Structure 1
Amino acid sequence: MSTATFHYEQRRLENDLVALEIFEPSVHAAPFVEMIKAHPDMFTYIPFPTINDEADFMRLYEGISSSPGDCLFAVIDKVASPGEVGVNGKFAGVVSLIGTNKDDAVTEMGVIIFPAFQRTHVATNAIGLLLLWTLDPPSAGGLGLRRVAWRAHAENAASRRTALRIGFEFEGIARWDRVFPRGKVALSAEALRIKNGTQEEQPGRHTAVFSIVWDEWDEKRPQVVALMGRR
């Protein structure tokens, strides 16, 4: 990824358990596409486009890498033993920052953890590393942002539980927040068709909105760090 396009200098983030590497297509794209094809259920609640091959993925990646508001990391499990799923047995998923606005000092976090690494230390540490980087002040090596958002399909109970466990505050439900691909968990598009007169409009979703903000970070930070230390 060209780090010059992101609002901030993207860098490797890590602790003893997990590393967030800058996503490198030549290393990470092929195993990521394999995982997408093997586990399409990972995207039941995520508005992810259809990916049939690396070419499809690279079209998506080019949009991410060219946006100053977005950046993508590969999640590497430093505890995983050889022979497990992924690059060198350790490629455990991806995390991203989405819609980062430097003027307002806000961003949104996105997380996809592969099935073999779910319900382990991986997600907590990947999320924690992103929170430390985004919310810690520059004097402590962070970006000093004011707000990190977490958005989940309103019916995605697992994602909502994760957000609350990490320390995100529930803000409410954004109703009919976005369109959602056919064949996934979505609200009917019929009312939308009636409204705008089209026949090809996609179904939609309600979105549960969570956040952690800067004036509560000093209180929440020790809790996040403590969670990251558990296995």
Structure 2
Amino acid sequence: MAARTNEYEQPIGDALSGWTARERPGRVSIEGTRCRIEPIDVDRHAADLFDAYSQAANGSDWTYLTIGPFADLAAYRAYLTGAAASADPLHYAIIDQASGKAVGTFSLMRIDPANGVIEVGNVTFSPLLKRTALSTEAQYLLMRYAFDELGYRRYEWKCDSLNAPSRKTALRLGFQFEGIFRQTIVYKGRSRDTAWFAIVDKDWPGVKRAFETWLDARNFDADGNQRESLTGLRDAQARG
């Protein structure tokens, strides 16, 4: 398809007639089948989260985060108090519906209502959450909130370019890799090159269908093992 041009025959982007700034995300609760997302509450969540993170064998889960590890609950509560008060990033706890306990956190951040751009970040999943259907549902619920309820056009994922598990997760969730931005951050006394990924609104319908098919109870056997992978479902949809 030929690019649109202006009166000077210069190529220009697609028209966005009627575009208006989006709403900022709120301190909302979002119910899922396996999990619930809710705003951080220090008194309700701090002890559960610290206990969940303490299930890890070592501190390697904190290597690529700007925070942690935390020596004790008091130190974690102090961090979480600041996180709970923040509007950008806006932090949420992920609650396991089965246990009623918080097992991880993430945030919506770099919130740009005028351009409809938002990022999921500060993804801090405990061993009780990692590599579970619950973790996938949590990512889907937040993504659905950004696209379907708030109407954002672009949903970003960024990570240290050396963080191979995070890069793999982004691709599994349906983000497209967009490149490496060099020397973007200094954290924990070192330089970070940042890998950028995104899902845009035209990608979302297919990404959403794959999530919903994967999360359906029929996609899991009696032992809880997936029958079809999320990536496989998305690829099958793309093939038609």
Q: Identify the match of residue 44 of structure 2 among 15, 23, 27.
A: 27
Q: 1:67 to 1:26 in 2, by over 3 A?
A: closer
CA–CA distance in 2 between the matches of 1:65 and 1:116?
22
- Give the 3-state SS of the residue equivalent to 2:67 in structure 1: coil
- Aligned residues: percent identity? 30
Please, which runs of 5 or more residues in structure 2 have no aligned partner?
1-22, 221-240
Are residue 109 (structure 1) and residue 113 (structure 2) matched?
no
Q: CA RMSD, aligned part only?
A: 2.3
Greater CA drift, 64-73 or 170-179: 64-73
Give the conservation status (yes or no) of the 8 Å contact 2:41–2:84: no
Q: Which residue of 1 aligns with 2:33?
A: 16
Q: Which residue of 2 aligns with 1:219?
A: 206
TM-score by length of 1: 0.74
Q: Which residue of 1 aligns with 2:158?
A: 151
Q: Which residue of 1 aligns with 2:133?
A: 121
Please, which runs of 5 or more residues in structure 1 have no aligned partner?
1-5, 81-87, 137-141, 182-201
What pairs up with 1:176-187 in 2 under 5 angstroms? 176-181=183-188
CA–CA distance in 2 between the matches of 1:27 and 1:227?
31
Once the two structures are TM-superposed, the CA of residue 219 in structure 1 deviates from its matched residue by: 2.8
Once the two structures are TM-superposed, the CA of residue 49 in structure 1 deviates from its matched residue by: 4.4
Once the two structures are TM-superposed, the CA of residue 209 in structure 1 deviates from its matched residue by: 0.9
What pairs up with 1:190-205 in 2 under 5 angstroms? 202-205=189-192
Give the conservation status (yes or no) of the 8 Å contact 1:21–1:75: yes
Q: As a proportion of its length, which structure holds more helix?
A: 1
Aligned residue-pair number: 193
What pairs up with 1:61-76 in 2 under 5 angstroms? 61-76=80-95
Larger radius of gyration: 2
- 1:139-194 CA deviation, whole Å, 9 max, x = no partner? xxx1111111111221222111111111101011111121121xxxxxxxxxxxxx
